[in-house]
Amino acid sequence: MLIRLLQQQRLSCDPTHSTTISIKRFVSIFPLVCCLTSKKPDPPGIISTFQSNHLLWNRFFIHTIHCSSLQMLLHPLLAQLFIIFASLCNVLTALPEPEPWFGDFLGTLPDPQMIGIFGKVYAVNSTCVQVLNFTYNGQAPDLFFWMDTEAMPSARGVKLSTFESGDSMLTPYYNKHVVLILPPNVALSDYKTFGLWCQSCTQDFGHVRIPDGFTPPNPQFLTHGLKATTKGVRYNVGSGPILILDRRTVKIYGLTFQGNRAPDSFFFVGKGPEPRRNDGIKVPIRGKDSPTDISNLKELYNGEKDIILELPEDHDIYNINWISIYCLRFAVNFAFVKIQAISDRIPPYVPVPVQRSKVPEFKREPWTTVTLLGKPPRNNFTFQLGPPGGLRAYESWAKAKPGEFVWYVNGYMAPELWVQRGVTYKIRVEGGDDSVLERFFNPLYISDDPYGGYSKLTDDDRQQITVYAGLNKQNLPLDGSDTTKEKSYGRLCRFINRHPEIIPDRLDSFLEYRKNLVLRCLKNSPGIFYWTPDDRTPDVVYYQSYTNFNMGWKIIVTDEIPSDVPFTEHESYSYELIDSEDEQLYSRHRDPLLQENAGIRPSEQYSILSVILSSLVMIIGCKLLLQ
- Report the CATH number that the domain containing residue 193 is assigned in CATH: 2.60.40
Residue 282: predicted pLDDT = 95
- Tally of domains in the chain: 4
Q: What is the pTM of this model?
A: 0.44
pLDDT grade, residue 305 (50/70/90)? confident
The pLDDT, as a whole number, for residue 81 is 59
Where residue 217 falls among pLDDT bands split at 50, 70, 90?
Answer: very high
Q: Is residue 63's pLDDT more than 70?
A: no
Is 80 exceeded by the pLDDT of residue 36? no
Task: Report the share of the chain in percent with pLDDT over 70.
Answer: 73
Quick one: 381 and 291 in the same domain? no
> DSSP letter at 435?
T
Q: What is the pLDDT of residue 571?
A: 62
Cα angle 187, 189, 195 (rounded to 5 degrees) comes to 90
pLDDT value, residue 323: 97
367 within some domain: no
Q: Report pLDDT digits (tens) over 353-412.
A: 644 434 444 446 789 889 999 987 789 999 999 999 988 899 888 877 787 899 999 999
- pLDDT at residue 366 in the model: 86
pLDDT band at 87 (very low <50, low <70, confident <90, very high): low
**pLDDT number for residue 4:** 43
Same domain, 535 and 618: no
Structural domain includes residue 530: yes
Helix H or strand E encompassing 305:
none
Residue 502 confidence (pLDDT) = 83
Q: pLDDT value at position 322?
A: 97
Mean confidence (pLDDT) of the chain: 79
pLDDT tens profile 404-444: 899 999 999 999 999 999 999 999 999 999 888 888 999 99
Nearest to 57 by CA among 620, 619, 626, 625: 619
| pLDDT of 72 over the 60 cut | no
- The pLDDT of residue 85 is above 60: no
Residue 625 has pLDDT above 60, yes or no: no
Do residues 394 and 247 both lie within one domain? no
Task: Examine the pLDDT at 96 and tell me if it is beyond 50.
Answer: no
- pLDDT for res 161: 82
SS3 content of the chain, % helix, strand, coil (to 5): 20, 30, 50
Q: What is the pLDDT of residue 55?
A: 38
Task: Tell me which residue of 425, 416, 430, 466 sits closest to 446, measured CA to CA.
Answer: 466
Partnered with residue 545 across adjacent β-strands are: 444
Amino acid symbol at 494: R
Distance of CA 219 to the CA centre of its chain: 3
Report d(CA 138, CA 57) in Å as an integer: 56
76 within a domain of the structure (yes/no): yes
pLDDT recorded at residue 120: 95
Q: Is the same domain home to 451 and 560?
A: yes
| Whole-number Å distance between alpha carbons of 510 and 341 | 36
The answer to whether residues 443 and 387 belong to one domain is: yes
Is residue 14 in a domain? yes
**Judgement on whether residues 73 and 111 belong to the same structural domain of the protein:** no
More confident site: 301 or 101: 301
Under the banding of pLDDT at 50, 70 and 90, the label for residue 269 is very high
Among residues 282, 310, 338, which one ends one of the domains?
338
Are 416 and 508 in a shared domain?
yes
Q: How confident is the model at residue 80 (pLDDT cuts 50, 70, 90)?
A: low
Name the strands in the sheet holding 322-327, side by side, starting at the edge strand that comes first in the sequence: 227-228, 332-338, 322-327, 265-270, 280-282
- Residue 246 lies inside a defined structural domain of this protein: yes
Percent over 90 (pLDDT), the chain: 42
For residue 19, what pLDDT is reported? 39
Q: Are residues 264 and 200 in the same domain?
A: no
In a domain, 323, yes or no: yes
Query: pLDDT tens-digit profile of 536-575?
Result: 999 999 999 999 988 999 999 999 998 887 776 666 665 6
SS3 state of residue 521: strand
Q: What mean pLDDT do residues 178-187 have?
A: 86
pLDDT digits (tens, 9 = 90+) for 465-506: 999 999 999 999 999 988 889 999 999 999 998 888 788 888
| Residues of the domain holding 160 | 107-209
Are residue 238 and residue 258 in the same domain, yes or no? yes
Please indicate whether residue 303 or residue 6 has the higher confidence score (pLDDT).
303
Same domain, 526 and 487: yes
Among candidate residues 243, 235, 231, the one with its CA nearest the CA of residue 260: 235
pLDDT at 154 over 50: yes
- The b-or-e profile of 111-150 (16+ CB within 10 A means b, else e) is bebebebbbbbbbbbbbbbbbbebbbeeebeebbbbbbee
Q: Mark whether 436 and 503 lie in a shared domain.
A: yes
pLDDT of 566 reads 74
pLDDT confidence band for 29 (50 / 70 / 90): very low
Asked if residue 346 belongs to a domain, the reply is: no
324 found inside a domain? yes
Strand runs labelled E in 339-414? 371-373, 380-386, 406-409, 412-413
Give residue 111's pLDDT: 87
Same domain, 533 and 430: yes
Q: Which residues have C-beta within 8 Å of that of residue 405, sequence separation ≥ 6? A: 385, 386, 387, 388, 439, 442, 494, 548, 551
DSSP assignment of 607-624 equals HHHHHHHHHHHHHHHHHH
